[in-house]
Amino acid sequence: MACADVDMNIQAEDEAQQRGPQEPAVLQYYQPTEVIPDKKGPLSDLMKKQPAVLGSLQIVSGLFSVGVGIVFAVTLPILETLFTLFRVSQLTGVLFIFSGLVSNLLFKYPALMTVSLVVNCSSIIVAVVGACLISVDLAQWTNNDKEYLKMEVLELCVLGLEVFLSATLCFWFLKEKRAKSP
């Protein structure tokens, strides 16, 4: 966007009265003489990477995790697996929905960057613990129903995706914090 400190008022009517009716009109147009760069807003380098997209993916994967957790909670006895006993899917899902919302709010409220960094780091920790619990469940699987086994493997893959998204956001936030500090 070009900006210039030039008077842009074109006084064509006054000049036409001074010239008279027989002289041809002079074509006037605006031409900038100096380009002034736009001011950089807070977190502008981070916003170019669009963390809101990753935050939206976190929300969607969190909703999926909560849905899978509800299916497991309704259909399996609570002591059947560690996955249902500790409500891994619901816990990670809600945490990732919250971290996605905070990541989406960064554009409007840049002061939330530290909160978003902490929430994403805690999401990674909870997801890794949940992945360990799911892995123990998969190693000790005794139920003949293969659909639940497939759903637990799918939830493990979703947890991997969520960890990847949060790790990427944490990396971007730490990079922005280092660039911001003198």
pLDDT of 99: 95
Residue 15 counted as domain residue: no
In a domain, 13, yes or no: no
pTM given for the model: 0.73
Cα–Cα dist 92/131, whole Å:
10
Number of domains the chain contains: 1
Whether 142 is in a domain gets the answer yes
Q: Give me the amino acid identity at 41.
A: G
Q: Give me the pLDDT at residue 140, please.
A: 87
Single-letter amino acid code for the residue at 70: I
Tokens 């989406």: give the residue.
104
The domain containing residue 71 runs over which residues? 44-180
The 10s digit of each residue's pLDDT in 92-136 is 999 999 999 999 998 888 888 899 999 999 999 999 999 999 999
DSSP string for 129-140 = HHHHHHHHHHHT
**What pLDDT score was predicted for residue 79?**
85
* Cβ-contact 88, 130 below 8 angstroms: yes
23 falls within a domain: no
| Joined tokens for residue 172 | 């971007």
Report residues of the chain scoring pLDDT below 50. Answer: none
Residue 81 lies in a domain: yes
Among residues 129, 126, 123, 104, the alpha carbon closest in space to that of 53 is found at 104
* pLDDT value at residue 160: 95
